Structure 1
Amino acid sequence: MSNFFKPKDFKDFKDAPAPVQLPDGSYEPVLNDTDLKICSRRMILMDTAPYSYATQNSPACAFSAYYALRKIYGNDEDGFKAALLNQLDCVFNATPPVSGLLLGAGLALEDKGHLNGIHAENDLKVGLMGPLSGIGDVFIWILPMTILGSIAGYMAMEGSPVGILLWCALWMAILVWRQQNYVQGYKAGVSFISKLGDKLSTVTDAASILGLTVVGSLIYSSVKITTPLTFTFGDVTLGMQEGVLDAIFPNLLAVILAFVVYKLIKKGVKLNWIILGILVFSCICSAFGILA
Structure 2
Amino acid sequence: MKNKDALTKEDKKMLNSIFLRSFTIFAGRSGGQVRQHAAGFIYCLLPAFNRYYKNDPEGRRQAMVRHTMFYNITQNLGTFAMGLVAAMEKENSEDPNFDAHSIVAIKTALMGPMSGIGDSIFWGVLRVIAAGIGINLSLQGSILGPILFLLVYNVPSIICRYYMTYAGYTVGSNFISEINRSGLMSVLTKGASILGLIMIGGMTASTVTFTSVLSFPVSGSDPILLQTYLDSIFKGLVPLSLTLGCLFLLKKRVNINLIMFGVMGLAIVLALFGIV
The TM-score, its normalising length taken from structure 1, stands at 0.79
- Greater helix percent: which structure? 2
Q: 1:171-201: CA deviations, max 9, x gaps?
A: 1331232234332222232343244332221
- Pair 244,186 (structure 1): closer, same or farther in 2 beyond 3 Å: farther
- Pair 72,249 (structure 1): closer, same or farther in 2 beyond 3 Å: farther
Q: 1:141-188: CA deviations, max 9, x gaps?
A: 111111232123213323445444422322133123223433222223
Structure 1 range deviating more: 164-173 or 145-154: 164-173
> Distance in 2 between the 1:245 and 1:33 partners?
59
Is the counterpart of residue 93 in structure 1 residue 72 in structure 2?
Answer: yes
- Pair 230,125 (structure 1): closer, same or farther in 2 beyond 3 Å: farther
Given that 1:97 and 1:178 are in contact with CA atoms closer than 8 Å, whether structure 2 keeps it comes out as yes
The residue that corresponds to 2:113 in the other structure is: 131
Given that 1:31 and 1:71 are in contact with CA atoms closer than 8 Å, whether structure 2 keeps it comes out as no
The alpha carbon displacement at 1:270 in A equals 2.2
Counterpart residue type for residue 210 of structure 1: L
The alpha carbon displacement at 1:60 in A equals 0.8
The residue that corresponds to 2:175 in the other structure is: 192
Is the counterpart of residue 168 in structure 1 residue 164 in structure 2?
Answer: no
Given that 1:37 and 1:180 are in contact with CA atoms closer than 8 Å, whether structure 2 keeps it comes out as no
Q: Work out which of the residue numbers 159, 162, 184 in structure 2 matches 1:179.
A: 162
> Distance in 1 between the 2:164 and 2:61 partners?
25
Counterpart residue type for residue 99 of structure 1: G
> Distance in 1 between the 2:217 and 2:110 partners?
47
Counterpart residue type for residue 194 of structure 2: I
Give the aligned length. Answer: 260
The alpha carbon displacement at 1:58 in A equals 0.9
- Unmatched segments (≥5 aa) in structure 1: 1-29
Q: Work out which of the residue numbers 220, 241, 252 in structure 1 matches 2:237.
A: 252
Q: 1:211-236: CA deviations, max 9, x gaps?
A: 11111112112222332222333312
The residue that corresponds to 1:76 in the other structure is: 56
> Distance in 2 between the 1:232 and 1:33 partners?
73
Percent of residue pairs identical: 27
Measured on the aligned residues, the alpha-carbon RMSD in Å equals 2.4
Counterpart residue type for residue 272 of structure 2: A
Map 1:1-292 onto structure 2 (within 5 A): 32-51=11-30, 52-88=32-68, 90-114=69-93, 116-170=98-152, 171-196=154-179, 197-198=181-182, 199-234=184-219, 235-241=221-227, 243-290=228-275, 292=276
Given that 1:155 and 1:163 are in contact with CA atoms closer than 8 Å, whether structure 2 keeps it comes out as yes
